[in-house]
Amino acid sequence: MVIALHRPDDYSPEQGARFEIDFEKLRNLVDGIGAIPFEAKVETITVDDQEGIRWSCCDLKPPLLKRTDELFAEGMTIREVAATLRISKSEAGRLRLRALDDGILTPDESSELQYYKIMVQ
């Protein structure tokens, strides 16, 4: 397993420990499904006048899907989207196909899309 920690694009030092956690390589995947990237951060809390910290996390998929849709709509290629979002080309390709299925993108006859569809099938 290879896990990558990235700073979120909107990170500021005042936020302290805040990371995007991405599983770049996984063995023994179940039905080809990988681990979903997520964000983890430390938050300060007060309970019964006692201050402490706790870790919290949230799923990154919804913002990732939205951002991917925006980049593809701007005309970026799978390779460009993968580099911009720091995801694999195969993940970017799957997200592009999902955007097509959801009607966010319209099918075009670009050679890259046709090539990818052939490779996936």
* Percent of the chain residues topping a pLDDT of 70: 79
Q: What is the mean pLDDT of residues 55-73?
A: 83
Q: Which residue has the higher pLDDT, 33 or 100?
A: 100
Identify the band that residue 111 occupies on the pLDDT scale cut at 50, 70 and 90: very low
Secondary structure element (H or E) that encloses residue 38, with its range: strand 38-47
| Per-residue pLDDT, 32 | 46
Highest mean pLDDT among 34-38, 58-62, 79-83: 79-83
> Over the chain, what is the mean pLDDT?
79
**21: exposed, middle or buried (Cβ count in 10 Å: 0-12, 13-18, 19+):** middle
The CB-based long-range contact list for 61-67 (8 Å cut-off, 24+ gap) reads: 61/36, 61/37, 64/37, 64/95, 65/95, 65/98, 65/99
